Amino acid sequence: MAAPGKLSTCRLPPLPTIREIIKLFRLQATKQLSQNFLLDLRLTDKIVRKAGNLANAYVYEVGPGPGGITRSILNADVAELLVVEKDTRFIPGLQMLSEAAPGKLRIVHGDVLTFKVEKAFSESLKRPWEDDPPNVHIIGNLPFSVSTPLIIKWLENISCRDGPFVYGRTQMTLTFQKEVAERLTANTGSKQRSRLSVMAQYLCNVRHIFTIPGRAFVPKPEVDVGVVHFTPLIQPKIEQPFKLVEKVVQNVFQFRRKYCHRGLGMLFPEAERLENTGRLLELADIDPTLRPRQLSISHFKSLCEVYRRMCDEDPQLFAYNFREELRQRKIKKKEKQDDAKSYRL
């Protein structure tokens, strides 16, 4: 087995370069799919090294594209690599890699947002949540257009211990726009602190391990790219349902420049907003004049616990959506205006 953090000496046979593959199959990055190809195998090797020791591991790669990271993963002497690719144009190039690594590469034409990875690998790979992470890894150069919805989906899977996390605390090494990577890892008080910071950090140990300059990609994106490593925590820092935590955090950060009481107030119907917001803050022992970025995970833990108790007291509270209340108010206002016009006529 290869030493931790090192690529195995087991190598693929000579193959066309990624640039040659792109020319051979006339591949072009599709702007609508936010595609950017990483051609430098030194960088793809670095991404794979940072994922940890992959010798004899089972790896799920999302969005392999022309196969740059795919090659580096196969060169790490994995037991099996499963790739899920939505764009059929990339399948022939990936099949070429599969032929060069018999029995190692499994190709699925599908959408990572809907693919059922929990059924992809053997039941024998599952480990208890309290144990070390399983010998299953997720690696991917994510298209910018799907990176945020996909990580939110996977964070919810971590909370529920389903999806890719039926195997245990599956580790992930993923690329994001540098700004998103900075948000995911931002500390309390940082200008980059956001909804993503809290949602990721209450469930995972999150590290921004290195940055890839935009010029390394083809076509060159307007931003640099951050590589982020996630290890799910044994015990989440907030022990409440994911949807409840998400609702509290979203409401706080929708008014990120205001005091935190402004966003928290939107958790409650207008008729009792002032009273219930004050009660929430008092019971959670939160200073109402703190800005959203100044709230720690501990603050959010207290807010979620108190909000959960308030929802238990009023079963209709959690379903409340202030945007829907606003929409209904606008409809009623328009109906009154229409009635007034009809009366004048």
What CATH class is the domain 18-232?
alpha beta
Over range 182-191, report the average pLDDT. 98
Angle at 84 between CA 9 and CA 161, to 5 degrees: 95
> Which CA distances in Å does 132 have to 42, 122, 209, 233?
29, 18, 21, 10
Enumerate the CATH 1.10.8.100 domain ranges in the chain, comma separated.
242-328
Residue 141, annotated as binding a ligand: yes
Residue 19 clears pLDDT 80, i.e. is over it: no
User: CATH 3.40.50.150 occupies which residues in the chain?
Assistant: 18-232
Which CATH architecture does the domain made up of 242-328 adopt? Orthogonal Bundle (1.10)
38 is in an annotated binding site: yes
Give the per-residue pLDDT at 14.
Answer: 66
CA distances in angstroms from 8 to 43, 49, 205, listed in the order given: 16, 10, 26
The dihedral of CA 130, 136, 142, 145: what is its sign? negative
Q: Is 239 annotated as a binding residue?
A: no
Identity of the amino acid at 297: I
36 among the known binding-site residues?
yes
- Is 63 annotated as contributing to ligand binding? yes
Average pLDDT of every residue of the chain? 90
Reported as a single tens digit per residue, the pLDDT across 279-334 is: 999 999 999 999 999 999 999 999 999 999 999 999 999 999 988 888 877 777 66
Distance of CA 16 to the CA centre of its chain: 33
Q: pTM for the full model? A: 0.89
